[in-house]
Homo-oligomer: A and B are copies of this chain.
């Protein structure tokens, strides 16, 4: 229901066109078929299948040839859909090609390798969309390097910051997540091929050679061992997805807060200007009941995705405790959560990129909110200035008392300070107080930090550029394999 094309797909399962990840039945089926086809080609190259078998299997291995519902029914008999798929695929082929299907493999080899193929496509989607998000965040950081706003801790105004620094923080989180995603994409996606219990015994002594050829065909790494019940790859994959989701969620949370009616410092752009809810419908962010509303839909949708992720991560991590040579349930419990995690992370990344690309920033509102606090966010600055004269704790307490008086009397903080005789005794003049209360004079290293973040982003970009999505040839085990698509189309 949450996949592209489903009732909730627009929110939780953006399609490939919007940078999403496809984990539909068709995508799963094709990934399993791609694995079977690559295996047939590998067997042929190893001399274990008849010449032409690889191409014949590849030609037949198209998802449209098979009925997911029927395979699903039969899967209930064996606990997974592979045996029925193997029979159906074999039935479409004459001998000797049919004999090459699934040779040496066990169901888990096919499903796990298919998961790796789905994961690779999803990681590419996430990387692409987070790349766009990072670019947008970098633009915001540069454009607002010196835009003063209030910092907020525990949802209370604290001291001044810049919106550039806020955006730089978002940027850094995204880039760290991208670095981690790219590392898993590059190093941890491996073929699974071990046969019934990991020895590849049915291939005699040819097993490792076929495994290497299969890895090459698919552009996946060849692992040291079959990893049927060593699920470290899965937990690592899940973890970087969850980290990416968390980075997007932090941004979306900030945007919902900054976009509050009473804050109004940012608002979402309308996205596709033509994007309206059907004839007469509202644009993005409209409400069915409240015609004036402009809801932060992209941020809300991002959070709607990211809030589902920690539970899925827990499920996948718990499922890593797998028995002996194949787990009784824990393995099966991975398929749906991993699909959801791939889909939700890609969709969250997609929403987040849209959000950042269209974000409208109201520098005037930022300044107005800061000014409305009557100088209180500069209390620390005044305390710092006074500390040199009175000692840190005495200065802190003096300022806290003036702030408290201001809050209870409604008299401006500035006046409470100026009227405190200890301030006068310390030799601080009214104009020095005013200077201490000017936000732009108390930004510390904000601009320098923005510059550092932008420089780090450029470095990250150049590192990540070497691992661009689709650039499979850079994988550690990439081989000269025939492209499945190429063969199938012949």
Contacts and interface: CB of A to CB of B under 8 A. Distances in A.
A397 interface: yes
A9 interface: yes
A180 interface: yes
Interface string A174-210: 0011001000000000000001111111111101100
A225 B154 contact: no
Interface in A405-446: 406-407, 413, 442-446
A154 B202 CA distance: 19
A78 B159 contact: no
B72 A158 contact: no
A483 interface: no
Contacts of A144: none
A246 B225 contact: no
A324 interface: yes
Identical copies in the complex: 4
Given A168-B225, A207-B444, A292-B379, 20 more contacts: A6-B68, A9-B72, A10-B81, A11-B79, A87-B279, A151-B196, A153-B287, A155-B257, A159-B290, A161-B199, A165-B199, A180-B236, A198-B449, A201-B381, A208-B449, A254-B323, A257-B324, A261-B373, A308-B336, A313-B313
Interface in A62-119: 68-69, 71-84, 86-88, 90, 95, 98-99, 101-103, 105-107
A143 interface: no
Q: Which range contains the number of A residues in contact with the other chain?
A: 35 or more
A72 B453 CA distance: 37
B152 A261 contact: yes
A195 B289 contact: yes
A14 to B, nearest CB: 8
A170 B377 CA distance: 32
Contacts of A236: 176, 180, 239, 243
B197 A77 contact: no
Contacts of A25: 1, 6-8
Interface in A220-241: 224-227, 229-233, 235-236, 239-240
Contact of A280 (B2, B6, B87): B87
